[in-house]
Homo-oligomer: A and B are copies of this chain.
Amino acid sequence: MSSIYCTLITIGDELLIGQTIDTNSAWIAQQLNTLGIKIKKRVAVGDNKPDIIEALNQGIAESHIVILTGGLGPTSDDITKPLLCDYFGGTLIENEAVRQHVVAYFEKRKRPQLQSNINQALVPDVCEVLFNEMGTAPGMLFRKGDCTIISLPGVPMEMKHIMSTSVFNILTQRYETPKYIHRTLLTAGKGESFVADMLQSFEAQLPADIKIAYLPNLGSLKIRLTGENISEEIVEAQFQQLRNEVASIEVAPKDTDLEHAVHELLLALGKTVSTAESCTGGLVASRLSSISGSSAYFKGGVVSYATEVKLNVLGVNPSTIETHSVVSREVVIEMAQQARLLMNTDVAIATSGYLEKGEKENEVWIGLASADSTHAVQLHVPYDRQKNAVLVVNTALNSLRLFLTN
């Protein structure tokens, strides 16, 4: 079976002046890859007729599928719809279902309907309309020879909705794609090159039709196996072998993140947690509380940025700070112990350290406390302030997970 290729064309001046970071393309690429469709090329062009047409000609010549996003809004700089109508030799006609939807959309929001909005209901008579329940610009599907051309709005929520409700089905029915099987696991605590080294002999014995990918993210690392046209059993056996190889650093045998792993663990154990943060300034608390349902285990925290707050609100002993300094094993453990008592939780986690480049060797301490034990982790953070903060939070969440399971 030969590969099915797709070209992605993103339309809009905002992409060429760097106002917008294109997250749509990465999402579409991920989704299509899962379906066994490969991306040939990604092109971003302005709201400019000749450039769009050139990209379209090339995409149709080189790929089985062309997906365009953007340029479908109601304003005058959105030229994609009339351009596609011309390109495929059609005429714009009013689509009754789309018109009713647009009218209802504005009525519901109590906003006046401008002519430019009603014009959203005009669609080329040579396309299949892909209904957009999330907005007013419909998606459109054209065919040229063996090529399928799909035009979608650039608003991520609307694009994702149309892709999920209609495009995936249409493409998998129309194209016979290779069967991909993905198996992903999450690890934490070791860098990509260290893990790749650990897995040298595992990689060497992998069948040629199973690929391995490393997806690092500041303190955590996903590893993904992808089998192409190979039995599920073989991929599963390799995945179990991979799990054995990384058992010491595995967080979860699935595609997840640290806060969800901690979420599931705390729910399963029926334990509660609180925080005492200095250098991370509330980021550990915000990650713990970012998940729906986290109120079952996260009670709260103290952001003790000033030493005064460590003393007066958390109740850390002044002599501990004097003897060991504010960034030390002893202080983070006492911060965690005090937070645990103050918030009445089963465990607590604390952070204190230097995140700024060149500050005291960028030393950071993470402290943990339960009723009967404590633990501390030291790290040296190598990036800028913002990335260091994320690295510390990820390390803290992983340390909490290990503390709860050991």
Contact = CB atoms under 8 A, between A and B. Distances in A.
Contacts of A385: 290, 292
A10 to B, nearest CB: 8
Contacts of A237: none
A282 B303 contact: yes
Chain A contact-residue range equals 35 or more
A302 B300 CA distance: 7
Contact of A215 (B19, B312, B389): B19
A365 interface: no
14 contacts: A16-B38, A19-B213, A21-B22, A21-B23, A22-B26, A41-B51, A275-B282, A280-B286, A281-B288, A289-B303, A289-B305, A299-B308, A300-B313, A302-B303
Given A20-B26, A26-B18, A281-B285, A303 B275 contact: yes
B22 A18 contact: no
A193 to B, nearest CB: 9
A150 B239 CA distance: 42
Contacts of A285: 281-282, 285, 303, 305
Interface stretch (A42-50, A161-169, A241-249, A369-377): A42-50
A4 interface: no
Interface stretch (A28-36, A86-94, A398-406): A28-36
Q: Which 6 A-B pairs have the closest CB atoms?
A: A282-B282, A281-B289, A18-B29, A282-B285, A18-B30, A300-B309
Contacts of A46: 39
A305 B300 contact: yes
A42 B41 CA distance: 11
Instruction: Please state the number of chain copies in the assembly.
Output: 2
A336 B285 CA distance: 19
A299 B305 CA distance: 5
Interface in A188-214: 213
A168 to B, nearest CB: 15
Interface string A276-305: 010011111110111010110011111111
B306 A299 contact: yes
A16 B37 CA distance: 11
A323 interface: no
B289 A286 contact: no
Nearest to A29: B18
Contacts of A277: 282
Nearest to A111: B193
A356 interface: yes
A290 B386 contact: yes
A27 interface: yes
A1 to B, nearest CB: 19
A15 interface: yes
Contact of A30 (B17, B215, B294, B305): B17
A17 B41 contact: no
Contact of A302 (B45, B283, B313): B313
B28 A42 contact: no
Contact of A295 (B294, B301, B305, B389): B305
